[in-house]
Amino acid sequence: GQSLEQPSEVTAVEGAIVQINCTYQTSGFYGLSWYQQHDGGAPTFLSYNALDGLEETGRFSSFLSRSDSYGYLLLQELQMKDSASYFCAVRPSNYQLIWGAGTKLIIKP
């Protein structure tokens, strides 16, 4: 079967850096995406990696290693508003997206 694994919960301190890992096992691979979802809100696209390496978008960066079937989302200079759930998702074929179960990020002042 196809699956993605990510931690269920991560806790960090405001102003710090946190990394959320994602490992995947899928029949095909056409990119790893990250989404943010605040409580009561909709998932919002954050970033996407199709090739190995680091993609940076402001305070958020995403990394991919296809040989390790692994990626991570790095959040820097954490702010209280970053408290949310973060989902990784892999596209194994056209139109399909396989989702992780989400990581709840708790930020403490």
Partner 1 sequence: DTAVSQTPKYLVTQMGNDKSIKCEQNLGHDTMYWYKQDSKKFLKIMFSYNNKELIINETVPNRFSPKSPDKAHLNLHINSLELGDSAVYFCASSQGASGANVLTFGAGSRLTVL
1 binding partner 1? (CB under 8 A): no
Give the up-direction half-sphere exposure of residue 37: CA atoms within 13 A in the CB hemisphere. 16
Q: State the minimum distance, in angstroms, from the CB of residue 15 to partner 1.
A: 27
Query: Which residues, 29 to 88, sit near partner 1 by CB under 8 A?
Result: 30-31, 33, 35, 37, 41-45, 48, 50, 85, 87
CA distance 85 to 54: 21
Nearest to 4 by CA among 70, 84, 100: 100
Chain residues binding partner 1 by CB under 8 A are 30-31, 33, 35, 37, 41-45, 48, 50, 85, 87, 89, 91, 94-97, 99, 101-102
